[in-house]
Amino acid sequence: MAQTSAHGAKAPYHLVEPSPWPIIGSISAFVLAVAALTFMHPDLFGKGSEAFFKSLGIWKVLIGLALVLFTMFGWWRQVIKEAMTPGLHSAVVRLGLRYAMVLFIASEVMFFVAFFWSYFHFALYPEHTVGQVWPPKDIVTFNPWDIPFLNTLILLTSGATVTWAHHSLIEGNRKGLVWGLVLTVLLGITFTACQAYEYVHAAFTFGENVYSGVFFMATGFHGFHVIVGTIFLIVCLVRAAKGHFTPERHFGFEAAAWYWHFVDVVWLFLFTAIYVAGQGPVSLPGHGPWAG
């Protein structure tokens, strides 16, 4: 939590008290990383430990995930308490938080740049793939105007509802803020459900070839961001219901809205590049779970 100076005035920069959360978070992330690696590669530390890691099964990953979630809950609860304490989040501190959020989103953009780079590398130069055609000749791609288009409409609508919630907050309309967030959360959940349904009915599997690998990595990583953004907005909804946000001070909500708009924009690129432009000549016009 931010400190005050010897004269009781808040310093114009973010001075934090000693906190256990950074070290707890580091240990939790390390445990989760090792657990995930040994789950996928039980022989990571040699054949002698392979049987031991196999015996732990998925539980070691769940323990690591639980530790990370515990860190997130405790650390962010402390940040919310700090934000609600008068005088601690000065104008300079709030500006620093905005810069931090912008840099965080920029770092997330680079993740997707890597996926798009990989996709276009093989799409533009298919001679590097088996069969030298893109998509691979045995791949039946999704009809982009089926569930993918529905999901596009869902995300675009959610962008409108979160903007409605933001404008309601600025105008002091708490009811509009709450309902805007409720609709956005429901749309986010609907998007995730539709994408899960799409994955279940996919005509190809993750490890089938480079196309399927890039497809599931890019769209799946985006789906993970939708889930994170939905949780982010649920927290904002709870805070809005408790009256934490004011028209003048609501950066927590702004950060969630920025993140959600980022998710929207990335999906438009995924839909255009992978689903529409990447639809293969072997695609079935009526292919899809709703094709009948």
Q: Are residues 73 and 187 in the same domain?
A: no
Q: Say what the pLDDT of residue 113 is.
A: 93
Q: Are residues 211 and 240 in the same domain?
A: yes
Q: Is the pLDDT of residue 166 over 80?
A: yes
Long-range contacts of residues 54-60, Cβ cutoff 8 Å, at least 24 apart: 60/35
Q: Which domain range does residue 131 map to?
A: 90-292
CATH number at residue 185: 1.20.120.80
Cα–Cα distance, 271 to 277 (Å, whole number): 8
Q: Are residues 105 and 81 in the same domain?
A: no
What is the DSSP code string of 125-181?
-GGGSTTS-SS-TT-----TTTHHHHHHHHHHHHHHHHHHHHHHHHTT-HHHHHHHH
Q: pTM of this prediction?
A: 0.82
Assign 81 to helix, strand or coil: helix
Contacts of 100 (CB under 8 A, 6+ apart): none
Q: Are residues 160 and 115 in the same domain?
A: yes
CATH number at residue 64: 1.10.287.70
Pinpoint the alpha helices (H) of the chain. 21-40, 47-56, 59-84, 91-124, 147-170, 174-200, 210-241, 251-270
- pLDDT-derived band at 5 (thresholds 50, 70, 90) equals very low
| pLDDT single digits (tens) 206-232 | 877 788 888 999 999 999 999 999 999
Last residue of a domain, one of 53, 88, 123: 88
Contacts of 137 (CB under 8 A, 6+ apart): 131, 282
Q: Is the pLDDT of residue 6 over 50?
A: no
Helix H or strand E encompassing 58: none
- pLDDT-derived band at 14 (thresholds 50, 70, 90) equals low
Q: Are residues 110 and 11 in the same domain?
A: no
More confident residue, 143 or 263: 263
Q: Say what the pLDDT of residue 2 is.
A: 45
Q: Supply the mean pLDDT for the chain.
A: 85
Last residue of a domain, one of 28, 60, 88: 88
| pLDDT single digits (tens) 18-52 | 788 899 999 999 999 999 998 888 888 888 888 88
Q: Are residues 123 and 266 in the same domain?
A: yes
Most confident of 1-10, 171-180, 272-281: 171-180
Q: Are residues 120 and 245 in the same domain?
A: yes
Sign of the alpha-carbon dihedral angle for 124, 125, 130, 131: positive
Say how many domains are in the chain.
Answer: 2
> Closest by alpha carbon to 2, among 12, 15, 13, 11?
15
| pLDDT single digits (tens) 108-138 | 999 999 999 988 988 888 777 666 777 777 7
Q: Is the pLDDT of residue 282 over 60?
A: no
Of the listed ranges 11-20, 44-53, 105-114, 233-242, the one predicted with least confidence: 11-20
Q: Is the pLDDT of residue 269 over 90?
A: yes
More confident residue, 284 or 103: 103
| Tokens describing residue 178 | 């709450």
Q: Are residues 99 and 35 in the same domain?
A: no
Q: Is the pLDDT of residue 65 over 60?
A: yes
Q: Are residues 43 and 2 in the same domain?
A: yes
- pLDDT-derived band at 84 (thresholds 50, 70, 90) equals confident
Q: Is the pLDDT of residue 161 over 90?
A: yes
Last residue of a domain, one of 88, 113, 135: 88
Mean per-residue pLDDT, 147-162:
95
